[in-house]
Structure 1
Amino acid sequence: MWKRKGKGDKLVLLTLYFLTFFNFISTDEHNHMYAENEEVVVWMNTVGPLHNRQETYPYFQLPFCQGPHILQHHHETLGEALKGMDLESSGIPIKFLETQNHATYCTKTLNAEDIDVLRYAIDNQYWYTMFIDDLPVSGIVGKSEDDNENSNESITEEEQAKDPHFKPIYVYTHKSFTFEYNKNQIISVSLQHADPVELVYNQRSLDLTFTYSVDWNPTDTAFEDRFDKLLEADFFEHKVHWLSIFSSFMMVLFLTGLVSVILLRTVKRDFTRYDREEGLDFDRDLGDEYGWKQVHGDVFRQPPHLMLLSALMGTGSQLVILAIVIILYTILGDLYVERATILTATIFIYAVTSVVAGYTSSRYYAKYGGKDWIKTAIMTAGLWPGAVAIIGGFINTLAIYYSSSRAISFLNLLSMIALWLFICVPLTLLGTLIGRNWKKPSGSGGSSGGSNNQAAVDFPCRVNPIPRPIPEKMWYAEPLVIVALGGILPFGSIFIEIYFIFTSFWTYKIYYVYGFMFLVFSILLIVCACVAIVSTYFLLNSEDHRWHWVSFMTCASTAAYIYLYSIYYYVAKTKMTGMFQTSFYFGYTALLSFGMFCMLGYVGHTAATKFVRKIYQNVKID
């Protein structure tokens, strides 16, 4: 199952709260142990359309009532606030091990507007979520006559013609809770609905009485295993999932074999051909010679848009480390069992790893003679947060317009800005300083061309002052073709896993197979490295020295295939509708794709850089 059972580290989570500017509160967080007749709080979370899972609203935005036992709730983590988890006490007075049978907890008089609101919600299949002892529980608001198989038998065409709102709609007024417990701990909660009351169109008022029942059943299931009932093993551990892992592994074997052939046979053959004439002068006319050796004077030339490439490299390195740490931390700590804990940990670890982004970008920028390192550091610090701010800001504006629970409050926005200003930016600058001054290159390998203003670096070959013309080549050796084709293999290695991730996120299945994710992510990085090496060799062998951006974009183009797949998934696999849900889906999918763009581009370019240095430093240079 690729997971370890057990709760996450509470001490680590507490540290995350303080380091990510959480609201200071005096929480009554319990230890999941109850005494007999101790209150069990039912927290109501959100309500929204069944097929638009991200379009959520506060539960009590619908005309429901609260019971007598009301407790105030605050956002316990920044992750909860960002995910729109606005928990409010239902007031249902449930006591541990105390059975109830159709007890009343509140009454509500609906006016005509309230009835219309409820009719609209039920007709659009609104469902709600609640949390009891940190266990998620879902329920449906009501039912329409269309939900019954033989509902249309009692509705005549004449009645429908007289009143387009004739369709009978019912709201459930009874909640039946069934608890399973082991000694003094709650293991599972199930919810059923009953006592539907019809909501008649144009009815002026309606009195509703909300009731509940509670049953308690003992079980031998251990507390550490209680989330297993919520995990859909039949879906995530399907044989197709295992088959995808195996096929991706075989792809890695094929690609590593191909790279080995290039390194051990093709490049070795090139070395033999180049060294055939002993004492060959690299700077004279080579006549009929051809291949990657011809561009030795341009291969280490400063790439265009150096600052942007440096910022992308820094951001990519940070996101790669972030992804690895989060996946491993989730495997070890089962973070998916805690509300919004993965998002909380991601924010914290991203802030801490900002030093990696600054170091990587500055090292790369300095290596190619960049001078404006302050702008590079600022661009590196703002590249990913800027993308999040643009996309998230647009979606947040829509959420405010729709009064959705997804709307981020001004205070939480200030917390995020403060986190970036006082942690991310300083750490990025610190990494930049370390990268510029730590183990500075000595320039033993050669000198740069005068027109490039590059600092002395340890390149194996010196850079010619004038770029060498790029000869004509076959269409499949053009950079754009290499980039377009290069992303197919990495996408193919993660295609099935992307499906499982999309299905989990957009249908609220709990994704727990992070062992699978770690394997697929590792395979993806290896595939990207191999693809970048092969594409770089083909490009250089056609005497085209523009390998820097090509090696980056070859792997980064995988993100474009992921986004294209998201369009297919939206059309073929979902029933999402509406401006808000569509914007949410394509906005955050674009953010995911941009993150993959930076990560895979960094991996590809790093592998290509090591490959290029290796082959040119092994060639005799006079």
Structure 2
Amino acid sequence: PKMDAGGFRLGTNLCIALPGLRWLLWLWLVAGCFGAFYFPGMVPVSYCEKRSQTGFCRSLIDVYVHSLYSVESAVTYEYESFDFCQDDLKKTPPETLGQILFGKQITSSPYKFSFKKEETCRKVCVKSYTAQNKDQMNKLAFLKNRIMQNYYHSWVIDNMPMIWCHDMEDGEEYCTLGFPIGCFNIPGDKLKGPCLSELKNYTLYPFNHVDITITYHRESDTNWNFARLVSSTIEPKSYKHSDENDLTCSGPPMEIPEEDTNTLNVIYTYSVKFEESQNAKWTSRWDYILETISDNNSFFLVLALCGLVVIIILKSICQRSTKYNHVSYMHARRQQHFRWRMVQRNIFRPPENGMLLSVFLGQGAQVFIMTFLSLFLAVIAFLTPADLSALMTCAVVLWALLGILGGYVSAKMYKIYCFLLMLFTVPSPYPRFLRIVFTDLLTMNLILWLEESSVAVSFGTLIRTIVLWFGISVPLTFLGIIFGKKVNMKEMPRQNFKRSFFTKPAVNIILGSLLPFACIFIQFSCILSNIWSPYIYYPSNFLFLLFTILLIFCSEVTVMLDHFHLYAEDGDWWWKSFLSSSFTSAYIFIYAIYYFTKLQVTSIETTILYFGYIIIAVLISLLFTGNFFPFCGISLHFFDCFFCFTEAF
């Protein structure tokens, strides 16, 4: 809509109304072009047999281990915390900030193979536990407790996780990014896998043997000496070895007695074999690992909802345009001129708590750009699935550097409706939000520290993170505030309008935010499952596409609801536009509570950690503008309405 001297003129241009579609198509094409190019920060490694080893290939295959995790607990432990076989020549790659924050410590293991050299029942080490040794009994008790809590190993070969596939009772095969350290057989448990029905109930079985299958692909038809690894699978087993000098890897499984005995020997062994694949290639090896669900259903659901909103907006505008064409021209001109002039008086009326709103908008813009760039780098494979902690590192660095954007947006919006900018006034609400997040993180870190978890952030890392925020993000925020320009507004009297049921703020906020949550519901459920369970899920391409579509959809919903408010002569739109999409975080929190009831969580520590992370996610979702882990927020949709109304008035 445009207001000129002659009155109100209505126009509908689909290209102007939906400019985001052009950007969506452009980004889609760019992502498709980059899809054929893979630069994850590492080069492929060529392997060959030991007798053919040269400077261009290697024969030794190292196995690295991550921290151990559980589907029943949020506490992770380092590999060294368990009394497993350790590498004499321990090698620990340099850790990034994302690995430290994620607790993804990685170290070398004693499992080392030679390319194409198959081994059968090879001994790794022997662990002995005697009742007279208190330290050994404590290690055994720790192992027994972690087996009962269903902890998993996480091994890596050639920057690629080892996969464990097992059958479920429904006949389906499920693959996970790790394998359990043992089995505690419970009657009626759905998992068949290594816990077979013929095992004793309520008995602990440690997995002291693994069968490893490594699949490779020849580099070229002309050079058959070089090969590259494309996949690796592992199958844990339990064997009661009677003689460590005569290992057969057969017979009954090994039991851990409930009562302490004189001596308990646990012999760890492995078998490895190599298989050649003619179809799988190194460049596409992640395609054989990654698993996604029915993304097409979610995609078409989002498109259908977007189309529905567009139809509602266009139909509403066209009906009103037709109605005013049927009345006298002069009467319609005077009526429309009067009604929109009344709305124009209040369209830029300073809202209540304007300072808080400006801070939310600034931080929301900061989070949006950070999320967009992180997802885009993941789509073009710059952030590889082999190291998910790189995503955290990228997000933290981008958040610090984008402080200038948050400060600029906050200052710009604050000065538009508050007439005057004071340098230290705009950032004053920032500590309110950060105080909540920082207190939450410190509480969870204290719990993790008491549990001796590998996820616990050390004091040095905490200091470095604070320095990163105060040394980079805060100065850039003030720099962005300085770049803001002063805009003077006139004082206008506020009008009180009678609202219908569907134009009441509570109704608009609850119903308006329900539609965006319907778009992200399926993906949000999958991401929660991915965070809490070892199942494979890395849909970066689809998440980026859904991020863009959901951005357009939330913008359409916000503009549509504010259009209805303006048509009802209600110019108090600031907070309504903000909350119409941000209330999606309430639905996210409600679903997170429902998801928690489906988990097998019994400890208080895990409950506190779960809801601690969820609270941070919900707070971020208040500021978030788009779809990530996938959350929907508001500040960009607010700017859609703001720019739309600026053009109109």
TM-score by length of structure 2 reads 0.77
Aligned mates of 2:330, 2:403 — CA distance in 1: 49
Compared CA separation, residues 219 and 293, structure 1 to 2 (3 A): same
Show CA shifts across 1:152-181 (max 9, x none).
6xx8xxxxxxxxxxx432212222322222
SS in structure 2 at match of 1:197 = coil
Query: For 1:8, which of 30, 34, 39 is the aligned residue?
Result: 39
The equivalent residue for 1:365 is 414
In the TM superposition, residue 429 of structure 1 has moved relative to its aligned partner by 1.8
Give the aligned partner of residue 363 of structure 2: 315
Q: How does 1:196-345 map to 2 (within 5 A)?
A: 196-204=253-261, 205-220=263-278, 221-232=280-291, 235-236=292-293, 238=294, 241-266=295-320, 276=330, 291=339, 293-333=341-381, 335-339=383-387, 340-345=389-394
Residue matched to 1:353: 402
Does the C-alpha gap of structure 1 residues 434 and 176 become closer, same or farther in structure 2, counting only changes over 3 Å?
A: same
Q: Distance in 1 between matches of 2:287 and 2:72?
A: 25
Cα 1:31–1:279 shift into 2, 3 Å: closer
Question: 1:108 is aligned with what amino acid?
Answer: K
Equivalent pair of 2:366/2:402 in contact (CA under 8 Å): yes
- Contact 1:335–1:341 (8 Å) recurs in 2: yes
3-state SS of paired residue (1:187) = strand
Q: Encode CA deviations 1:533-552: one digit per residue, 9 max, x unaligned.
A: 22223333434332111111
Contact 2:215 2:274 in 1 (8 A): yes
Q: Describe the shift of the 1:504–1:48 C-alpha distance in structure 2 as closer, same or farther (beyond 3 A).
A: closer
Per the alignment, residue 455 of structure 1 pairs with none
Q: CA deviation at 1:406?
A: 1.2
Which of 29, 43, 66 matches 1:45? 66
Choose which of 183, 192, 208 in structure 2 pairs with 1:173. Answer: 208
Q: Does 1:604 align with 2:637?
A: yes
- Report the Cα distance in structure 2 between the residues aligned to 1:30 and 1:532, rounded to whole angstroms: 46
Paired residue for 2:502?
Answer: 476
Offset from partner CA, 1:268-310 (integer Å, 9 cap, x none): 8679989836996xxxxx9x99855434322211111111111
Q: Which residue of 2 aligns with 1:538?
A: 564
State the 1:398 CA deviation.
1.4
Tell me which residue corresponds to 1:511.
Answer: 537
Contact 2:71 2:533 in 1 (8 A): no
In structure 2, relative to structure 1, the CA distance for the partners of 1:172 and 1:496 (3 Å cut) is closer
Which residue of structure 2 aligns with residue 620 of structure 1? none
**Greater fraction of residues in helix:** 1
| Contact residue 161 and residue 386 of structure 2 kept, 8 A | no
User: Aligned pair in 2 of structure 1 residues 565, 373: CA closer, same or farther (>3 Å)?
Assistant: farther
DSSP-derived class of the 1:189 partner: strand
**Cα shift at 1:363:** 0.9
Q: Specify whether residues 384 and 132 from structure 1 end up closer, same or farther in structure 2 by C-alpha distance, changes over 3 A only.
A: farther
CA distance in structure 1 between the aligned counterparts of 2:302 and 2:139, rounded to whole angstroms: 54
Counterpart of 1:139 in structure 2 is 179
What is residue 566 of structure 1 aligned with on the other side?
A: 592
Structure 2 counterpart of 1:33, from 46, 65, 68: 46
| Structure 1 residues 397 and 34: alpha-carbon distance in aligned structure 2, compared to 1, 3 A threshold | same
Distance 1:492 1:605 in 2: 20
Change (3 A) 1:84 1:272: farther
Structure 2: segments with no counterpart, 5+ residues: 1-27, 51-58, 130-135, 163-177, 187-194, 218-225, 240-252, 626-632
How far did 1:595 drift? 2.3
Distance 1:405 1:278, change over 3 A: closer
TM-score normalised to structure 1 length: 0.80
Distance 1:543 1:145, change over 3 A: closer
Closer/same/farther in 2, CA of residues 315 and 401 from structure 1, 3 Å limit: same
Q: 1:448 & 1:532 partners in 2: Cα distance?
A: 26
1:102 is aligned to 2:121: yes
Please say if 1:64 is aligned against 2:84: yes
Q: What's the secondary structure of 1:64's corresponding residue? A: coil
Letter in 2 for 1:448: K
CA contact (8 A) 2:355 2:426 kept: no
Match of 1:55 among 52, 62, 75: 75
**What are the Cα deviations for residues 319-377 of structure 1, in whole angstroms up to 9, with x where unaligned?**
22222222221111163423112112222222222222122111111111353543355
> Measured at CA, do residues 256 and 136 of structure 1 come closer, stay the same or move farther in structure 2, by a change above 3 Å?
same
Secondary structure of residue in 1 paired with 2:66? strand
- Pairing partner for 1:580 from 575, 596, 605: 605
CA distance in 2, matches of 1:300, 1:274: 31
Q: Structure 2 residue aligned with 1:448, among 487, 490, 495?
A: 490
Separation in 2, partners of 1:578, 1:415: 31
Q: Aligned in 2, Cα 1:586/1:274: closer, same or farther, shift over 3 Å?
A: farther
* Count of matched residue pairs: 548
CA contact (8 A) 2:40 2:382 kept: no
Q: CA deviation at 1:82?
A: 0.8
Q: Displacement of 1:495 after TM fit?
A: 2.0
**Distance (Å, rounded) in 1 between the aligned partners of 2:273 and 2:115:** 10
In structure 1, C-alpha distance between the alignment counterparts of 2:185 and 2:410, rounded to whole Å? 61
**Equivalent residue number for residue 456 of structure 1:** none
Structure 1 partner of 2:469: 420
Q: Which amino acid aligns with 1:185?
A: R
Contact 1:75 1:86 in 2 (8 A): no
Residue in 1 that maps onto 2:523: 497
**Structure 1 residue 519: deviation in Å?**
2.7
Matched residue SS, 1:333? coil
On the 8 A contact 1:67/1:93 being kept in 2, the answer is no
Equivalence for 2:452: 403
| Amino acid across the alignment from 2:269 | T
Name the aligned partner's letter for residue 65 of structure 1.
C
Aligned match for 2:494, one of 467, 470, 473: 467
Deviation at 1:248, TM superposition (A): 1.6
Q: Is the 8 A contact 2:71 2:532 kept in 1?
A: no
Counterpart contact for 2:60–2:114, Cα < 8 Å: yes
Contact 1:255 1:530 in 2 (8 A): yes
CA contact under 8 A between 1:358 and 1:380: conserved in structure 2? Answer: no
Contact 2:66 2:154 in 1 (8 A): yes
**1:122–1:142 contact (8 Å) kept in structure 2:** yes
Answer whether contact 2:324 2:332 (CA < 8 A) is retained.
no
SS in 2 for 1:378: coil
Q: Corresponding residue for 1:20?
A: none
Task: Report the Cα distance in structure 1 between the residues aligned to 2:198 and 2:208, rounded to whole angstroms.
Answer: 23
| Structure 1 residue 258: Cα displacement | 2.0
Name the CA distance, whole Å, in 2 between partners of 1:108 and 1:427. Answer: 55
2:379·2:544 contact (CA, 8 Å) conserved in 1? Answer: no
2:105 pairs with one of 69, 75, 86 = 86
The CA deviation string for residues 191-214 of structure 1, in whole angstroms up to 9 with x for no partner, is 222324221122243122222222
Q: Name the residue aligned to 1:160.
A: none
1:62-99, Cα deviation, whole Å (9 max, x unpaired): 2223144x223144211111111122322234333333
**Matched AA of 1:139:** F
- Distance in 2 (alpha carbons) for counterparts of 1:570 and 1:421: 35
CA contact (8 A) 2:207 2:236 kept: yes
Unaligned runs of 5+ in 1: 11-28, 156-166, 281-285, 450-463, 618-622
For 1:515-534, what aligned pairs fall within 5 Å after superposition? 515-534=541-560
User: Counterpart of 1:375 in 2: which secondary structure?
Assistant: coil
Hey, what does 2:95 align to over in structure 1? Answer: 76
Equivalent residue letter for 1:607? D
Instruction: Say whether the 8 Å CA contact 1:299–1:545 is kept in structure 2.
Output: yes
Q: Secondary structure at the match of 1:296?
A: helix
Identity %: 24
Cα distance between partner residues in 2 of 1:486 and 1:50: 35
